[in-house]
Amino acid sequence: MKPPQNRRVFVVGYGAATPLGSTFAKTWQRAVRGEAGFRKVTRCKVESACDIVGEIPDWFPLELDFTDAKEVYNWNAAFVILTMAVCKEALADAGIVMDEAIAPRMACLIGSALNGSDAFRVAMHDLEHRGPLRVSPYLLPNLCANLPSGKAGMLLKFTGPIFSPQGACASGNHAIGIGARMIRDGDCDFVLAGGADAPILPELIHGFANMNATIKVHADDRAAKDFAQASRPFSIDRRGFVLSEGAGVVVLAAEEAAKAHGLTPRAEVLGVGWTSDAYHYTSPNPATIIRALRETIADAQLKPADIQYVNAHGTSTPKGDRTEIKCLRDVFGKLLEKIPVSSNKSQLGHTLGATAAIEAALTIEGMRQGILLPTINHVPDPEFADIDVVPNAARRQKYELALSNAFGFGGTNCCVIFRGV
């Protein structure tokens, strides 16, 4: 194999569809205002106290400028059209106009935790109630993990590598890390890196509820009267995450490619670290998370004292939040008392395979704007009294080095450090 070119890699644009809005701009505006995107589930009927979810409030696929009724009907796995939309937004945000020079040098890596589960559900219904000949011939493509990237390529006309990093809740960071390595090594000049998931289905809502992963909102819970308070990472009364749908993509570019095309760098991908737990399918392993954190800092050629902000995985589960803070304390020691640590999931819920890419984009925009996004709904937990979680309101603060954490089911961990430019 050819030797790596050791090129620097920058983020030059992003796109997102989240419970705060169908574009990154809408998401950012509401995030800065300290809003949350939660409501009673509308996409399906469930019989569960875990019926507070994060749905994209203004997501209307038929109103997109590249779809029609046939396209939406055939591609009924929501993560396909979600990916097409956020990739289109991200390229426009970056100012990239596809041409014969860019197209073969652009890759697309879109991860997911649950892929086309919604398409499979429709097929099962059709098989049972309408017969085998009514199962869609598009079922298998809708289930393929690489199809969102493939459909984005068909829409946007790039012909570089496409595949799906399957890292559950860490998929977005895996996509960014792999994409950065591909650019560094000279395999491509641009990468659309991110994730997409559409898990608002009754089977999945009940499945997560029965795992005791998502919050059960009973009459005595503060979220019973105010759905916005359902997700509360690092709070003393945290009871589980809010299941959400969404998609997020960042555009990565080689330094010289960005300069050649007049693109504006927003952050540099400075370091990546990844490990696996070999421990449990959901319960985290502190030792391997600590190793991922240390390896990320080492890959960036930094010291713990250099990190100025941590975008936490922060799911709002009792054990998950406790373990993450324990690991951060191990790596940073007393330094952690001076480093803001906040969780976007307090506002977005958990978008599974999309979450890390969405949070990366929010972190980078925060560095550009000099704003730390908050951990809303915060009621202090004495166990975390030494941690600055940026409680309840965004804060004006300049920072240039940010660590973004993502830990996924199956015991997969991936962290990324970004340097603002």
Q: What is the pTM of this model?
A: 0.98
274 and 256 in a common domain: no
Which of 212, 236, 404 lies closest to 322 in space, CA to CA? 236
Q: What DSSP state is assigned to residue 258?
A: H
256 and 140 in a common domain: yes
Query: Which of the listed residues 240, 260, 280 is the one where a domain comes to its end?
Result: 260
294 and 221 in a common domain: no
174 and 243 in a common domain: yes
pLDDT in tens, 386-408: 999 999 999 999 999 999 999 99
Q: How far is Cα of residue 281 from the mean position of the Cα atoms in its chain?
A: 20
Q: Which structural domain range is residue 293 located in?
A: 270-420
- Is there a domain that residue 265 lies in? no
305 and 256 in a common domain: no
- Is there a domain that residue 223 lies in? yes
pLDDT in tens, 153-210: 999 999 999 999 999 999 999 999 999 999 999 999 999 999 999 999 999 999 999 9
- Is there a domain that residue 50 lies in? yes
Residues classed as catalytic: 169, 313, 350
Rounding to the nearest 10 degrees, give the CA dihedral for residues 60, 64, 68, 72.
-50
Over 90: is that where the pLDDT of 3 sits?
Answer: no
Name residue 288's amino acid: T
